[in-house]
Structure 1
Amino acid sequence: CAKSDKDNISYEDLQVLLKENQNLVLVDVRSKGEVDNGHIPGSINIPLDTVESAFKLPPEDFKSKYGKTKPEKDSQDLVFHCQMGRRGETATKQARQLGYSKARNYAGGYMEWSKKQNK
């Protein structure tokens, strides 16, 4: 079934957020090896199997580990992505279960991003 727009953001939306939103926390949930082959500038790598523990960290620990301010629970500044959308969706669900009610998934993932960047 189609996901509603509040769960997902498009490539175009992400472009705007990356340009205009200083507080955006874009989380790449792929493995370290995948990220080393290319990533979206400004994203932080929190592999899917560590998302839950990462977002349970106290804000100061999150900041020192990932170099970004941990988003507030009701922040719209939290976006997850993976290679093609599936792991990003899982991570978004996990974050929502932890109370990040406005967390979203960039469904196109790195695959779409790299295609569009290179055209």
Structure 2
Amino acid sequence: MAGAPTVSLPELRSLLAAGQARLIDVRSREEAAAGTIPGALNIPVSELESALQMEPAAFQALYAAEKPKLQEENLIFFCQMGKRGLQATQLARGLGYAGYGAGPAGG
């Protein structure tokens, strides 16, 4: 995933074990419904830009989760193969977020 910071699987496991990572599954709702990483928030990449620009209350109402903060260090975007995760990471970074991309959802 050239051009965006990434996190390795061992690093991700450590962050998750320590409760220091926030996962965003940027696959479609149908893909995420078939299975995702436990605790991940699903925001399809097609909705991500508008979601990250929402007011916190609107984000909470739509996604039933707290809106990520700009300074959140371990905001990790992932998808099936890595392409949408990279796109999401670049988009979020362009909006001022300090997110990371991860590889495929399965490993």
Does the pair score TM above 0.5? yes
Runs of 4+ in 1 over 6 A off after TM superposition: none
Report the identity percentage: 38
Larger fraction in helix:
1
TM-score (norm 2): 0.89
Distance 1:77 1:65 in 2: 22
Residue in 2 that maps onto 1:59: 56
State the Cα distance separating 1:11 from its structure 2 match.
1.0
**Would you say the 8 A contact 1:71–1:77 is kept in 2?**
no
1:3 and 2:5 aligned:
no
Q: Could you say which structure has the larger radius of gyration?
A: 1
Amino acid at match of 1:104: Y
> What count of residue pairs does the alignment treat as equivalent?
107
C-alpha change, 1:66 and 1:17, in structure 2 (3 Å) is farther
1:105 and 2:101 aligned:
yes
State the Cα distance separating 1:66 from its structure 2 match.
2.0
**Would you say the 8 A contact 1:31–1:47 is kept in 2?**
yes
2:88 aligns to what SS in structure 1? Answer: helix
Distance 1:51 1:17 in 2: 23
Distance 2:93 2:47 in 1: 15
User: Gaps spanning 5+ residues in structure 2: where?
Assistant: none
- What CA RMSD, in Å, does the superposition of the two structures yield over aligned residues? 1.7
User: Gaps spanning 5+ residues in structure 1: where?
Assistant: 113-119
Choose from 10, 13, 22 the match for 2:11: 13
Residue in 1 that maps onto 2:88: 91
Residue in 1 that maps onto 2:76: 79
Residue in 2 that maps onto 1:49: 46
1:106 aligns to what SS in structure 2? Answer: strand
